[in-house]
Amino acid sequence: MKVAKTCSSRFSAARWTALAMVVGALGLGMLIAHKHAALAQTATLDLETTETVTTRIRTERTAREAWGLDETDWQRYQVLMEGPSGLWYAHLAPAMVLGINAGSETERMRFARLVWEQEQARLDALFAFNRAYQSIARTDRNRPGFSLFEEQLLRSPLPPPEETAVHGTRIQAFVAPGCPHCEDAIRALTASGRSFDVYVIGAGDDREIRAMARRAGIPVERVVERSITLNHAPGDRLVRAGHRIEDLPLFFTSRNLRSPVPLSMLAGGTP
């Protein structure tokens, strides 16, 4: 009996020893795994930091080279921008900031020359592009069917029927599409130099009004500056004022539209 008890005790001790070894091994494994994970995370952070620094250095080098500065100039510029110059000259080119803060006349002249050359290069490119643009514009304007009037006015819609462009002492000219007398009257009124608002009754869309204005010889610049406006108008507005559509064109200088003014008085008057 004593022998059995001794064997059992030895077995239990051996089992606990084995269990302790297993737990120890597991703990060591977890510790090693945790250490590896920490090292991997550190390596990832180091890599990201390295990539960020590399990108920043590459960006700074590109900017420095674009402005024609060497490393010493660029470092000086960065130091300046961390001080009051960063508030005063944030919108200026680096070479200009360096020139303003130059320590000698020689250095100031060097940066002034650099800024001048950069500005000349910018203007040369701008003018070259403008010449190309003008060449294309001249070519397009010579093509059949091109209309500068149409090109400019298609950018914005005409006012809706119930909207009056300009009131006051300006002339209000009521006309209709397909009315030769209306177009002749508008042409004469335009030639007088007076400011006026054209109200087109029965126009299907903006394009029809623009086509009529083009035939009447209205300069596009006068429409752009709004000394002449083009508008839709409902026919019942004139009818309510006691006029007939058949009497178009009609001209008024008051908003109530009661008394038409002869074209001869308007076209021969002062603007």
pLDDT (tens digit per residue) in 192-246: 888 999 999 888 788 888 888 989 999 888 888 888 998 888 777 788 888 888 8
Distances from the Cα of 104 to the Cα of 69, 93, 125, 201, 224, angstroms: 17, 19, 32, 74, 52
d(CA 101, CA 80): 8
Q: What percent of the chain has pLDDT over 90?
A: 17
The pLDDT, as a whole number, for residue 142 is 57
d(CA 232, CA 210): 11
pTM, 2 dp: 0.41
User: Are residues 218 and 226 in contact, defined by beta-carbon separation less than 8 angstroms?
Assistant: no
Domain boundaries, the chain: 35-66, 79-140, 154-267
**CA quadruple 27, 28, 34, 40: dihedral, nearest 10:** -160
d(CA 157, CA 119): 39
pLDDT (tens digit per residue) in 105-161: 999 999 999 988 888 888 788 777 877 777 776 676 555 544 444 454 444 455 544
**Per-residue pLDDT band at 271 (split at 50, 70, 90):** very low
Identify which of 23-27, 34-38, 128-132 has the greatest average pLDDT.
128-132
The pLDDT, as a whole number, for residue 164 is 42
Which range has the worst mean pLDDT, 15-29, 107-121, 164-178, 185-199? 15-29
- Asked if pLDDT for residue 24 goes beyond 90, the answer is no
The fold adopted by the segment(s) 154-267 is: Glutaredoxin (3.40.30)
User: Are residues 267 and 188 in contact, defined by beta-carbon separation less than 8 angstroms?
Assistant: yes
Which tops the pLDDT comparison, 68 or 195?
195
The pLDDT, as a whole number, for residue 196 is 92
Phi, psi at residue 231, to the nearest 5°?
Answer: -140, 150
